[in-house]
Amino acid sequence: MTPAPDVTGYFDQDTNTISYIVADPQSGTAAIIDPVLGFSQRDGRTSTAAADRLLAEIDARGLHLAWILETHAHADHLTAAHHIHERTGAPIVIGRHIGDVQRIFAPLFAASDVVPDGSAFSRLVDEGDSLSLGELTIGVMHTPGHTPACVTYRIGDAAFVGDTLFQPDYGTARADFPGGDAATLYRSIRKIFALPAETRIFTCHDYPTGDRSEPEWESTVAKQRAANIHVHDGVSEADFVAMRSARDKGLAAPQLVLPALQVNIRAGELPPPDPDGRRYLRIPLDTI
């Protein structure tokens, strides 16, 4: 029987992001997946409240934080990985192809401090790699398409798919970011669909549809294969690519894409201070 980790999701209302605490019930060893750093565009203020809530929960449950796992470099929220790393010493993990993402976006923000080799992160992982989580194992699947560096983390009977899939009634991630590709996304999804039918699928975002008012973030491979509105069984790669390409043309850029990417390619560390001692985010004009 496949072991089942304890999974607790935390929904961030401002960004529709779900962060997770995943724990091995035998040893109390835990990982945090996709933590959120609050950011106000109105006044440029950051907040660690959501991340501190995760840390308080870990302390309250007597867990040992072993890993901070990023499914990809997010374009819709800032990551709190660096803050949590500084508080706990837990290493920050991301897919090895993050260097490809850094090479694309560091020049956009004149981020000369970013070395495009992933070295801003503690550990880079790729297809077939594994990490220990107490008595459990974190398996890595490379699932690109939304971005080149997207990975899915398999922990026992659970799979954390980032933005590759959403809830079945909402569909799939966009594939029009630089380095994204709809055909590659389709193949990554089919790889996820090849997991056992009872595998629990946990998504990074949810956008409640007209049929429901409350956010959800858990489904199964079986439910996704049967009911995902974009990519259920029977949808061909050609049909998916045509749908995804047409849909992406009508999507606006994520609201936080410019602040998020320049922080997230730095593993959540804010840009280095200018000579005046202040840190600044760059907003390139007329470029996206």
In the chain the domains, ranked by start, together with CATH numbers, are 6-252 (3.60.15.10)
Tokens (6 digits) for 65: 């934080």
Which pairing describes strands 92-95 and 64-69: parallel, antiparallel, or unpaired? parallel
**What confidence score (pLDDT) does residue 147 get?**
97
Q: How far apart are CA 218 and CA 22, in angstroms?
A: 13
Number of Cβ within a 10 Å radius of residue 183: 15
What predicted TM-score, i.e. pTM, was given to this entire model?
0.97
Q: How far apart are CA 263 and CA 21, in angstroms?
A: 22
DSSP state of 238: H
pLDDT tens-digit profile, the chain (288 residues): 788 999 999 999 999 999 999 999 999 999 999 999 999 999 999 999 999 999 999 999 999 999 999 999 999 999 999 999 999 999 999 999 999 999 999 999 999 999 999 999 999 999 999 999 999 999 999 999 999 999 999 999 999 999 999 999 999 999 999 999 999 999 999 999 999 999 999 999 999 877 888 999 999 999 999 999 999 999 999 999 999 999 999 999 999 999 999 999 999 999 999 999 999 999 999 887
Query: By 3-state DSSP, what share of the chain in percent is helix, strand and coil, each rounded to 5?
Result: 25, 25, 50
Q: How far apart are CA 89 and CA 38, in angstroms?
A: 21
Q: Which helix (H) or strand (E) holds 15?
A: none
Q: CA dist 29 to 24, 93, 137, Å?
A: 5, 16, 11
Phi then psi dihedrals of residue 87, to 5 deg: -75, -35
**What confidence score (pLDDT) does residue 2 get?**
83
Type of residue at 55: L
Sheet-wide strand order for 218-220: 130-133, 136-142, 151-155, 158-160, 200-202, 218-220
Select from 230, 228, 226 the least CA-distant residue to 240. Answer: 230
Please give, one letter per residue, the 3-state secondary structure of 78-125: EECHHHHHHHHCCCEEEECCHHHHHHHHCHHHCCCCCCCCCCCCCEEE
